[in-house]
Amino acid sequence: MTSAAPMLPGLDAFDAAIVDLDGTMVDTLGDFVAALNGMLDDLGLPQVTPSVVETRVGKGSEHLIRAVLQHVQAPADDALYDRAWTRYQHHYLAINGRHSLLYAGVAEGLQGLSARGLRLACLTNKPTDFARQLLTSKRLDVFFDPVFGGDAFERKKPDPLPLLKTCEALGSRPGRTLMVGDSSNDARAARAAGCPVVLVTYGYNHGEPVQEVDADGFLDSLARLDSWTLPVGAARGLG
């Protein structure tokens, strides 16, 4: 008689989850393009296409603005960057959420996590005010407490500090806190912090294949989280 295979732990292995925003819950590429092109128009600079913006999303607004200015061959000038940042904030706050779409399965996935009693935090490199406004407009704010943006801590993802601080706020150990994201930034931060990590396959990931990232799993929908189980190696690392 053969013994049954050991059951791998699923969501019951976790006390909390940290969920990324752009590219994970909401497709915000349209918002980025609209705000950036408004900024560029104000500065008298050429417009950019969605394909240019998509590969530069995920490392915070400061990086995005500098990368776009470099792409349009604007002078590397701090005064110009300061003007660009001011105009970008103006346009982004005015259109935040208008050109973005909730990915399929996101609400179901978050409801499933909440129903299991997991405490949820949203952690993004997007500025906190932008993140809160977007979550509210998409009716996702009810799932999250706390919400931390890229300006909440001294360093951004992929540094582990934001994840460690978010675990503290949630009152959960890193090994019992699942990171859900869409990019190598999320995975690298999770690995360094000691959090298991699962990535969605439909996000941005700086234009690179997400399946090549070191993660514990990949999902084509957050609705599938409820039936997801940890690989054996990752399960042994829970603590």
Q: Scanning the structure block, which residue is given the tokens 């931060």?
A: 189
Tell me if 91 sits within 8 A of 122, measured CB to CB. no
Q: Do β-strands 26-27 and 101-102 pair in parallel, antiparallel, or remain unpaired?
A: antiparallel
**Catalytic choice (12, 15, 20, 141):** 20
Query: Checking phi first, is residue 134 left (phi over 0); if not, alpha (psi -120 to 50) or beta?
Result: alpha
CB neighbour burial string for 80-100, b if at least 16 within 10 angstroms, e if fewer: ebeebeebbbebbeebbbeeb
Nearest to 18 by CA among 122, 173, 159: 122
Task: Judge whether 20 counts as a catalytic residue.
Answer: yes
Catalytic residues: 20
